[in-house]
Amino acid sequence: HTHVGICISLVLLLLVTFSHYTKIMKQFVRFAIISALAVIAAAFTQPAFTTSKSVRRMASAAEEEIQEVKVGDEIPQVILKEGQVDYGAPADVDIAELIKGKKVAIFAVPGAFTPGCSKSHLPSFMTAQDELKAKGVELTICIATNDAFVMEAWGRTSGGADAGIMFLSDPEAELTRKLGLSIEGGILVRSKRYSLIAEDGVVTHYFSSANQSSDTWAPAVLSKL
């Protein structure tokens, strides 16, 4: 900012003596004032521009580094939230500890109470509980980035909780991002629709919705078990 102070002093000095110059000198002074103002503007705007570019570059690099989950990957250790009845304080659930030593089905949805998730994806796992258990699946988990209170209410009112499905919130989208399955932008970072089977914390089957949503529904999962 020392350069900015010098430029401002120069502008003030030129303004005071402006009336004493000839026509030619007046033109020179105008040029000097414009140049000084340009330097001042550049001094204030350049760092912000550079920072903005740096942030975009780092964000882009971070996105490129996170690959979508695949068979053979381990489910990362992330603390999720489980809503409690009667608006109790949500409980912490370490997803890695929860599924350790178990064969589990995990499916994620973009949003609780949304049409496709409520009419198709969730019900498909509700009606498939007996078949999944017959295939050795000990626990079915539904995950979304909605808060724990919303997830508890969805599980309770949909009948999913009564069917034996565990509803967990990923409120900061930490797990979703680590799996490379986040939908960024907007107020709420959402999860892409997917399903997977994990045994002792390792993904053995992965079902993406890239082609069509039904590829992640329970019948598609059962067909591969």
Q: Which residue has the higher pLDDT, 133 or 14?
A: 133
Q: Is-catalytic flag, 117?
A: yes
SS3 79: strand
Q: How far apart (Å, rounded) are the C-alpha atoms in residues 121 and 115?
A: 10
pLDDT digits (tens, 9 = 90+) for 138-186: 999 999 999 999 999 999 999 999 999 999 999 999 999 999 999 998 7
Q: Count, in order, helices (H) and strands (E) of the chain.
A: 9, 9
Q: What is the pLDDT of residue 47?
A: 42
* pTM of the shown model: 0.72
Q: What is the pLDDT of residue 185?
A: 84
Q: Which residue among the candidates 117, 128, 153, 221 is catalytic per the annotation?
A: 117
Q: How far apart (Å, rounded) are the C-alpha atoms in residues 63 and 180?
A: 8
DSSP 210-222: SS-GGGGSHHHHH
Stretch 196-201: mean pLDDT, rounded? 98
Q: Is the pLDDT of residue 73 over 80?
A: yes
